[in-house]
Amino acid sequence: MNHGIGWLGILAVVSAAGAAIILVTFLVRKPQISADTKVWLLLGLGVLPIASAASANIQGFQSMESREFCGSCHVMIPHAADSDDPNSRSLAAIHARNRYFGEENCYTCHKDYGMYGFVLTKLGGLRHVYYYLTEYHDMPLSESKHDIRIVHPLPNDTCMGCHTTNAPRWNMVPDHASSLEAVRNGTMSCASPGCHGFAHPVTKLGKELTADGKPNPEFDAGAKHR
């Protein structure tokens, strides 16, 4: 999906310009108050400004769902670059090549799918911006790729939203069938070395891994820690 100015952005600009023209015309010509004048004032002071603000906000929300927006912070450059790499075999890169949501693969996999998911996801995004501006803005990339961690492990429920474990085709894969219960109860994460591997090719150090290099169930157990 192209996240340029888009038709909503054009609508916002046109509505704002229309409101400005109406108001300037009214101030310059100072017409008599009539029914027609009231209609034009309603457009200039109410309908068009509201349309401009609403479409601009919606356009802004949509733009924040793009991988380009996520990668605009330098600490996310390695993740965005991997998704853009046509030769990468990471989970993130594979999903980035999906024709339906590829340009929004970050948002698609990291958003909350609960009842208030949209609101919670946007609030979480604001939290990311806050921490970036207050703590991570000057952090070297070499440090950020190891020190900045996801707040909550990727829940298996997110994966199962598209890759349902009830599908016969899914259960035809031997590894899927043998790990069905572990995936459903969250004791095995879909995004772990024991399954499909971490979503991003950035080494996870510390608490995410046990001493033998395997995912720590306490911190990387998918749906168990949603």
* Residue 1: inside a domain: no
How many residues are listed for the chain in this entry? 226
Per-residue pLDDT tens for 162-189? 999 999 999 899 989 998 998 998 888 8
Q: Are residues 94 and 134 in the same domain?
A: yes
78 and 59 in one domain? no
Cα–Cα distance for residue pair 95/115, rounded to 1 Å:
24
Is residue 108 located within the same domain as residue 59? no
Residues 186 and 207 in one domain: yes
Contact present, 95 and 102 (Cβ < 8 Å): yes
Full domain range(s) for residue 28: 6-63
Residue written as token pair 């991003």: 200
Q: How far is CA 23 from the centre of its chain?
A: 38
What pTM does this model have? 0.67
Dist. CA 104–CA 112, nearest whole Å: 14
How many separate domains does the chain show? 3
Cβ atoms within 10 Å, residue 182: 17
pLDDT at 204: 57
Please tell me whether residues 226 and 153 are part of one structural domain. Answer: yes
End position of a domain, from candidates 47, 63, 79: 63
The span from the CA of 189 to the CA of 219, in Å, is: 10
Output DSSP code: residue 209.
Answer: B
Kindly state whether residues 56 and 25 are assigned to the same domain.
yes
Tens digits of per-residue pLDDT, 48-101? 999 999 888 888 778 888 999 888 888 888 889 999 999 998 899 999 999 999
Same domain, 101 and 134: yes
Whether residues 125 and 194 fall in one domain? no
State the burial class of residue 116 (Cβ atoms within 10 Å of its Cβ: 0-12, 13-18, 19+).
exposed
Q: Are residues 182 and 225 in the same domain?
A: yes
